Amino acid sequence: MLHIGCHLSISKGFEHIGKEALSLGADTFQFFTRNPQGGKAKDISADDVNRFRHLAAQNNFAPLVAHAPYTLNPCSDNPQTREFAELALTDDMKRMEYIPGNYYNFHPGSHVGQGVKTGISLIIDLLNRTLKPEQQTTVLLETMSGKGSEIGRNFEELAEIRAGVKLNNKLGVCLDTCHVFAAGYDIVHNLDEVMTKFDKVIGLQHLKAVHLNDSLMPLASNKDRHAKIGEGLIGSEALIRFINHPAVKNLPFVLETPNDLAGYAAEIKFMRQNYIE
Ligand code: FE
Ligand code: FE
Ligand code: ZN
């Protein structure tokens, strides 16, 4: 069965977002743990979470993907920004334990001119201070398009981060189809090779979730502009081949396409129709 959902707003709580996901034909979803620009997170209501967990169990939800705020940058050159990254990650890890067994995805960071090596070591340091052996959340590094000074523009950088993190059984990867395409991985013409490369460099067992997006920008453009399914340069045929690839076909897929709810429902339906059981 295809596990698919989309990015939704958590502002009305977990039960609401769960029902909204179901109404769209989804069995997973992604949400921001706090305002994407940062700031304080909303309090979690235990009753709301319990009602959601019941709903999710009854409807066989796949693992959810929480998304860290974009402002979380462990390898900034600004100490205050790095401090925010640590506070937000620490707080988010505590809050994620209300919904144990799910994923928490974050952009590894931008080194802003300090260099990839320094950037990677700052990311490793933060994860080594924050991850706890008892946590039930798996943190995911997102594959990035490589715009600006982004870390995670290739599989090697993500593998290097995993190699430096002691509790790396708590650390997986989320592959964003738009980002990897923009980063230069040709999932349109060489999907098997890209997956083989992922396996060699990171290990497919560490790939836990997929962001399913088309890309407005061409291969290797290092530009991050999501398109609706079939309206970008990856195209629906390649995205259909992607969801059916044995390396990923059982993972949760999250659409981050520029859509309203009806648009998401239509894309979810389209992908389900084209999924081979
Ligand atoms: Fe992201
Ligand atoms: Fe993404
Ligand atoms: Zn993106």
* Cα-to-centroid distance, 107 and ligand 2 (Å): 9
Q: Which residues line ion ligand 3, judged by CB < 5 Å?
A: 224
Low-confidence ranges of the chain (pLDDT < 70): none
Q: What pLDDT is attached to residue 232?
A: 98
Tens-place pLDDT, residues 35-48: 878 778 888 999 99
CA 256–ligand 2 middle distance (angstroms): 7
How far does the centroid of ligand 1 lie from the alpha carbon of residue 69, in Å?
9
**Ligand number nearest to the C-alpha of 227:** 3
Q: Mean pLDDT for the chain? A: 97
In SS3 terms, the chain reads as CCEEEEECCCCCCHHHHHHHHHHCCCCEEEEECCCCCCCCCCCCCHHHHHHHHHHHHHCCCCCCEEECCCCCCCCCCCHHHHHHHHHHHHHHHHHHCCCCCCEEEECCEECCCCCHHHHHHHHHHHHHHHCCCCCCCEEEEECCCCCCCEECCCHHHHHHHHHHCCCHHHEEEEEEHHHHHHCCCCCCCCHHHHHHHHHHHCCHHHEEEEEECEECCCCCCCCCCEECCCCCCCCHHHHHHHHCCCCCCCCEEEECCCCCHHHHHHHHHHHHHCCCC
pTM: 0.98
Give the model's pLDDT for residue 167: 98
